């Protein structure tokens, strides 16, 4: 894997291109905006995201999706709602079966409840496929701050190959065969980040937020195991690690949306003020639906769903969480 195409010219796609550039002959960022593509190629910067980061000379921008056919590695870093359409378009253009596909987006599809790697497998039944997750804020990766990630694949040899590529002095990666757990942790934590942001916006205090995040981990594990993940995965980087960073970091888009909601803004106002995609907002719908179908108890997800889509006041939702019937802290049934 000597070159790569990165689908998505947002902050994470730009950060991953910056991360991999020292190990590749070329990294091509494929986006939709011609002006952004020109700026990446000519000015060596992304004018919309991570503006203070100078891009390496071997990073190039384009709007031609067909260029992905020329690289042995393709990173899917587009919003989860666009993954299927872009994958199908690549398939129509004849993407080689040998091309390695790496899913980097965190979420599940609303209509089907499928994870991103499942969508890729449906569209590309013969290609090698993997997923990467963990506490990986783009801003810190791009500035070469120490970061860890986990790469999941049902092909251990492929995971090791990608691990070698994603190992640098400031970036350490681990491998796992639990692709379901890795992707589910990365998706579900976005909803809990909104919840933590709401709690911070309401000013309920550090004790309450710490309790909320702790119970969120238990809820994530219950749901993740029910949907096919392994219990130990949720105490790792893609579970607890990603949950911690996205619930407390200033870089977390989902936390920022939640904070605005906690301070009394409408969902539209909160999303518009962000100026970027917060995957937790649309994914609350798909994850809530998946939990109902699986019959899993998810009070925090239910509360966020009520606030976002049923006009439930944030303070009331928080009060309801705190005044539910008492129960044991641990639940051996994970349901």
Instruction: Give the whole-angstrom CA distance, residue 108 versus residue 115.
Output: 5
Summarize the annotated binding site as residue ranges. Answer: 8-13, 32, 49, 106, 134, 138, 189, 242, 252-254, 277, 279
What average pLDDT does the chain have? 93
Looking at the domain 3-177, which fold is it? Rossmann fold (3.40.50)
- Which whole-number Å values give the CA distances from 180 to 151, 175, 183, 235, in the listed order? 12, 13, 5, 14
Which pLDDT tens digit goes with each residue over 54-106?
999 999 999 999 999 999 999 999 999 999 999 999 999 999 999 999 999 99
Looking at residue 328, its pLDDT comes to: 83
Contact predicate 62/92, CB 8 Å: no
* Cα R_g (the chain), whole angstroms: 19
Sheet holding 73-76, edge to edge: 59-62, 26-30, 3-7, 73-76, 100-103, 129-133, 147-152, 171-176
Residue 121: phi and psi, rounded to 5, are: -65, -35
Query: Can you tell me the mean pLDDT for 15-27?
Result: 97
Query: Can you tell me the mean pLDDT for 266-278?
Result: 79
Summarize the annotated binding site for NAD(+) as residue ranges. Answer: 8-13, 138, 253
- Which whole-number Å values give the CA distances from 204 to 195, 280, 305, in the listed order? 12, 22, 20
CATH 3.40.50.720 location in the chain: 3-177
Q: Which two tokens stand for residue 47?
A: 């004018």
Looking at residue 331, its pLDDT comes to: 67
82 closest CA partner among 20, 141, 32, 39? 32
Q: What is the domain class of 181-322 according to CATH? A: mainly alpha
- Residues designated as active site: 189
Looking at residue 334, its pLDDT comes to: 46
Contact predicate 151/128, CB 8 Å: no
DSSP string for 232-274:
GGGGSIIIIIHHHHHHH-TT-HHHHHHHHHHTT--HHHHHHHH
CATH 1.10.1040.10 location in the chain: 181-322
Q: DSSP state, 122?
A: H
Summarize the annotated binding site for sn-glycerol 3-phosphate as residue ranges. Answer: 106, 134, 189, 242, 252-254
263 closest CA partner among 305, 315, 224, 225? 315
Indicate yes or no: pTM above 0.85. Answer: yes
What are the residues whose beta carbons fall under 8 Å from the beta carbon of 285, sequence distance 6 or more?
110, 305, 309
pLDDT at residue 254 is higher than 70: yes
pLDDT at residue 147 is higher than 80: yes
Q: DSSP state, 168?
A: B
pLDDT at residue 276 is higher than 70: no
Which pLDDT tens digit goes with each residue over 305-334?
999 999 999 999 988 988 888 888 876 544
């Amino acid at each position: 894997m000597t070159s790569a195409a990165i689908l998505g010219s947002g902050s994470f796609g730009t950060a991953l291109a910056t991360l991999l550039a020292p190990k590749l002959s070329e990294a091509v960022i494929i986006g939709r905006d011609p002006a952004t593509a020109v700026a990446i190629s000519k000015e060596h910067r992304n004018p919309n995201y991570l503006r203070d980061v100078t891009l390496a000379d071997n990073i190039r921008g384009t709007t031609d999706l067909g260029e992905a056919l020329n690289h042995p590695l393709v990173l899917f870093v587009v919003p989860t709602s666009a993954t299927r359409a872009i994958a199908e378009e690549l398939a129509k253009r004849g993407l080689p079966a040998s091309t390695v596909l790496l899913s980097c987006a965190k979420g599940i599809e609303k209509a089907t409840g499928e994870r991103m790697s499942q969508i890729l497998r449906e569209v590309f039944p013969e290609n090698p496929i993997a997923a990467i997750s963990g506490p990986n804020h783009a801003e810190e990766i791009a500035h070469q701050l120490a970061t860890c990630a986990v790469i999941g694949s049902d092909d251990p040899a492929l995971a090791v190959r990608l691990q070698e590529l994603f190992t640098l002095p400031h970036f350490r990666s681990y491998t796992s065969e639990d692709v379901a757990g890795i992707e589910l942790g990365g998706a579900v934590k976005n909803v809990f980040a909104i919840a933590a942001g709401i709690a911070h916006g309401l000013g309920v205090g550090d004790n309450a937020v710490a309790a909320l995040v702790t119970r969120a981990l238990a809820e994530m594990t219950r749901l993740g195991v029910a949907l096919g993940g392994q219990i130990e995965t949720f105490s790792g980087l893609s579970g607890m690690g990603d949950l911690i960073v996205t619930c407390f970091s200033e870089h977390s888009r989902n936390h920022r949306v939640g904070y605005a909601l906690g301070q009394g803004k409408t969902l539209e106002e909160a999303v518009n003020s962000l100026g970027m995609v917060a995957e937790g907002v649309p994914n609350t719908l798909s994850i809530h639906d998946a939990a109902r179908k699986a019959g899993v108890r998810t009070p925090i997800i239910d509360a966020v769903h009520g606030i976002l889509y049923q006009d439930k006041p944030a303070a009331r939702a928080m009060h309801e969480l705190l005044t539910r019937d008492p129960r044991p802290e641990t639940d051996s049934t994970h349901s």
